[in-house]
Amino acid sequence: MTGARPKTGAQPATGRRLGVRLCLRCRAATRVPAAAAAAARLLCPRCHAPLHERRPGSRSVCAALLLTAAILYVPANLLPVMHTRTLFGEDDDTILSGVIALLHAGSWPLALLVFFASIVVPLLKLVSLGWLLLSTLGAPAPAAPRSRLYRMVEFVGRWSMLDVFAVTVLACLVQFRTLANVRVGTGALAFCAVVVLTMLAAQTFDERLLWDSDAAA
């Protein structure tokens, strides 16, 4: 005799339905009695931080960070990220011009790596986080694939700093005064801001909002 199967269409057990709240400071899961759920201020029994069903202001803060990152993405790709001065003259390089220079030098694997890490990945992060944010406001949709997309975006975000890291290393090493000099350009600062802002937006976004708008919710 087999065990009883759950009824088709039955709602899954979630922390909200079970009356469990997660402390954002110490990550303790606390069951809140139904009688106390309507209290104006609930505190974590372990660290005494305020308990919330969802991260306060998650949507608005994430949207503000994404909008700022999207605005800075334009100068990050148009302004030079590196200024080089040698005995033969001076030159300014943007991210795209650096990729083209690597292709002309025959280093196409490195060129592809810089292109995807510094141009494609930040753009995909902006689009993906923006879509995930909008999906929490629209019609109910399956949360599992959106949750996987969010975790992928959060994981690959740190690799977008590859171009900034390379320019910083060059600026530190290539300092021969009269022979050669490398300086970090304004575009690198804007690009670094884009990467940091998108990482903060991913961390600010409350993934549980995806499950609140799940079709089965």
> Mean pLDDT for each consecutive 10-residue tract of the chain (217 residues)?
47 65 75 62 78 80 94 89 64 75 77 80 90 83 85 77 60 52 74 88 85 60
Range of the domain at 168: 58-212
> Do 132 and 47 reside in the same domain of the chain?
no
Residue 63 confidence (pLDDT): 93
Q: What pLDDT was estimated at residue 8? A: 46
Q: What is the pLDDT of residue 217?
A: 44
Question: Do residues 161 and 195 both lie within one domain?
Answer: yes
Residue 69 is predicted with a pLDDT of 94
**Statement to judge: residues 128 and 195 lie in one domain:** yes
**Which pLDDT value is given to residue 13?**
62
In a domain, 1, yes or no: no
Instruction: Count up the domains in the chain and report the number.
Output: 2
Residue whose tokens read 């406001």: 137
Q: pTM to 2 decimals?
A: 0.74
Calculate the CA 126 to chain-centre distance: 8
- Tens-place pLDDT, residues 4-46: 444 545 556 666 666 677 777 787 777 776 655 555 577 777 8
Indicate whether 49 and 155 sit together in one domain.
no
Is the residue at 4 inside a domain? no
Residue 195 lies in a domain: yes
Q: What whole-number distance in Å separates Cα of residue 156 and Cα of residue 162?
A: 11
- Within 10 angstroms of residue 65's Cβ, the number of other Cβ atoms is 21
Quote the pLDDT of residue 5.
45
Residue type, 217: A
DSSP state, residue 160: G
Does residue 70 share a domain with residue 20?
A: no
pLDDT at res. 40: 59
8 inside domain = no
101 domain-assigned: yes
Identify which of 27, 34, 18 has the alpha carbon closest to the alpha carbon of residue 55: 27
Does residue 76 share a domain with residue 174? yes
Report the C-alpha gap between 105 and 128 in whole angstroms: 33
Query: CATH no. for residue 75?
Result: 1.20.140
In angstroms, rounded to a whole number, what is the distance separating the alpha carbons of residues 129 and 149? 9
Predicted confidence at residue 66, as pLDDT, reads: 94
